[in-house]
């Protein structure tokens, strides 16, 4: 009886092991054939190191291809904000981005192949800003037009942006800006009274922005016979003669 019992127990244990092994194999086969969840795929493909390497290689490729840094035109909306802190932040962001764009542009060997970095420029013309990147030229034109807008605090914000740009990026020629201000903010007899007023106030704010930038003073101190020195005086006098309400602020800007 005892011998028979000892013979049965090893056989039972062997059967149980075989059954357990069979269950394990079936379970493994089911897991392998089961479709992977999106979570599993995402966890395996979002390796931080792999992502960093991908971004770095993309940035290197963009740099080697001569593509300029992107300029986000959304800052213009914030320049017109009634909140002064929002306007200041937008002006600083505008200047920071365009300084990087201009620095990259000046480092390029073949500037003729550079596109506007997503910014669509108006028809090409001799605006005297040929040393400036396309995005910078676009921004300067838009800022000059913006100071004539009566929307919220657009004049203050766009004038601030113009001041910071002109004071920090010396590739911008002051004499060219003075001429652009007259061209873009031209006043004609066919315009309605409000439109004329907006254009004239726009000129005042634009000239004031150039004055606060310090560039006019630099030109005047270095040589009073340079075109910017002569033209600025002529333009200020012409503006003051347009309307009586412009005389005092125009003189204040000139003497600032």
Match 């040393």 to its residue by tokens: 131
Classify residue 96: in a domain, yes or no: yes
Classify residue 2: in a domain, yes or no: no
> What are the structure tokens assigned to 33, written together?
């054939």
Classify residue 249: in a domain, yes or no: yes
Q: Cα(94)–Cα(106) distance, rounded to whole angstroms?
A: 18
Confidence of residue 80 (pLDDT cuts 50, 70, 90): very high
Q: Considering the entire predicted model, what is its pTM?
A: 0.67
Q: Cα(234)–Cα(230) distance, rounded to whole angstroms?
A: 6
Q: Cα(83)–Cα(65) distance, rounded to whole angstroms?
A: 40
Cβ partners under 8 Å of residue 139, min gap 6: 71, 94, 98, 161, 165
pLDDT of 84 above 90:
yes
The residue that leads in pLDDT, 170 or 47, is: 170
Question: Cβ(253)–Cβ(211) under 8 Å?
Answer: yes
Question: Cβ(144)–Cβ(206) under 8 Å?
Answer: yes
Question: Cβ(155)–Cβ(205) under 8 Å?
Answer: yes
Classify residue 48: in a domain, yes or no: no
Domain encompassing residue 228: 67-255
Confidence of residue 44 (pLDDT cuts 50, 70, 90): very low
Confidence of residue 9 (pLDDT cuts 50, 70, 90): low
Classify residue 17: in a domain, yes or no: no
Q: Cα(133)–Cα(244) distance, rounded to whole angstroms?
A: 39
The residue that leads in pLDDT, 172 or 254, is: 172
Q: How many structural domains comprise the chain?
A: 1
pLDDT of 142 above 70:
yes
Write down the H helix ranges in the chain.
Answer: 2-33, 38-45, 48-64, 75-79, 84-106, 134-146, 154-168, 174-184, 193-213, 215-222, 227-240, 244-255
Confidence of residue 35 (pLDDT cuts 50, 70, 90): very low
Q: Cα(169)–Cα(99) distance, rounded to whole angstroms?
A: 7
Please tell me what DSSP assigns to residue 117. T
Q: What angle do CA 243, 197, 201 make, to 5 degrees?
A: 85
Evaluate the CA torsion angle 237, 241, 246, 247 in order and state its sign: positive
Classify residue 80: in a domain, yes or no: yes
Q: Cα(240)–Cα(115) distance, rounded to whole angstroms?
A: 40
Question: Cβ(106)–Cβ(121) under 8 Å?
Answer: no
Give pLDDT, residue 4.
Answer: 47
Classify residue 109: in a domain, yes or no: yes
> What are the structure tokens assigned to 212, written together?
């606060």
Give pLDDT, residue 50.
Answer: 34
pLDDT of 73 above 50:
yes
Confidence of residue 43 (pLDDT cuts 50, 70, 90): very low
Q: What angle do CA 92, 212, 188 make, to 5 degrees?
A: 100
């Amino acid at each position: 009886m005892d011998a028979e019992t000892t013979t049965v127990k090893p056989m039972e244990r062997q059967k149980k092991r075989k059954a357990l092994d069979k269950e394990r194999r079936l379970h493994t086969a089911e897991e392998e054939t089961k479709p992977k969840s999106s979570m599993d795929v995402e966890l395996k493909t979002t390796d931080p190191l792999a992502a960093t390497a991908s971004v770095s290689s993309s940035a290197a490729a963009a740099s080697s291809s001569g593509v300029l840094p992107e300029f986000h035109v959304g800052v213009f909306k914030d320049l017109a904000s009634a909140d002064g802190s929002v306007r200041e932040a937008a002006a600083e962001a505008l200047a920071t981005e365009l300084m990087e764009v201009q620095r990259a542009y000046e480092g390029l060997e073949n500037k003729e192949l550079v596109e506007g970095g997503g910014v669509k420029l108006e028809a090409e013309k001799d605006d005297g800003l040929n040393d400036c990147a396309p995005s910078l030229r676009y921004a300067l034109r838009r800022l000059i037009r913006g100071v004539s807008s009566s929307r919220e605090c657009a004049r203050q914000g766009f004038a601030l942006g113009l001041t910071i740009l002109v004071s920090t990026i010396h590739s911008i020629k002051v004499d060219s800006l003075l001429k652009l201000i007259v061209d873009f903010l031209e006043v004609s007899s066919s315009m309605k009274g409000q439109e004329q007023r907006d254009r004239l106030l726009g000129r005042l704010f634009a000239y004031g922005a150039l004055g606060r930038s310090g560039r006019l003073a630099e030109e005047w101190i270095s040589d009073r016979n340079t075109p910017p020195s002569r033209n600025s005086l002529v333009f200020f006098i012409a503006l003051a003669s347009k309307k009586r309400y412009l005389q005092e602020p125009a003189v204040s800007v000139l003497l600032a």
